[in-house]
Amino acid sequence: MSTKPVPDIPSPLALELFQPRPSVFYSLDAAAHLAGVPRRSILIYCRAGLVQPVFQPPYEVMEFTEEAIHTIRRIEHLRAVHGVGLAWLKAMFDLLDEVEHLRAELRFLRKP
């Protein structure tokens, strides 16, 4: 008797990973919900310079891009899994920014 493999059918109750849409802004509450962190954590990360919110006129409402939500998730992962503090995170992100800047400069200089 042969058994045929049953294709994986996603359960209707399965959770879907959030994939932010480009050029969409999310409020502080929405960003906190989507990143799975308290609002207070996001505000602390903003104050530490780890996350850059966008301020929308005319009321200067703090909103976040999909890149900011991704950064918040990275921060939470590094803090939870590796126990990295805010000062180390700031230094690490500054170094990563510098590496990206140097790569861009190198690509520019290599153009024929």
- What is the C-alpha to C-alpha distance for residues 32 and 36, in angstroms, rounded to an integer? 6
Burial environment of residue 65 by CB neighbours within 10 A (0 to 12, 13 to 18, 19 or more) = buried
Tell if the pTM clears 0.85, that is, is over it. no
**DSSP run (H or E) holding 79:** helix 66-82
- What is the C-alpha to C-alpha distance for residues 104 and 18, in angstroms, rounded to an integer? 29
User: At the topology level of CATH, where does 26-110 sit?
Assistant: Multidrug-efflux Transporter Regulator; Chain: A; Domain 2 (1.10.1660)
Q: What is the pLDDT of residues 25-61, one digit of tens each?
A: 999 999 999 999 999 999 999 999 999 999 877 888 8
Domain ranges of the chain: 26-110
Nearest Cα to Cα of residue 45 among 56, 31, 60: 31
The fraction of the chain above a pLDDT of 90, given in percent, is 67
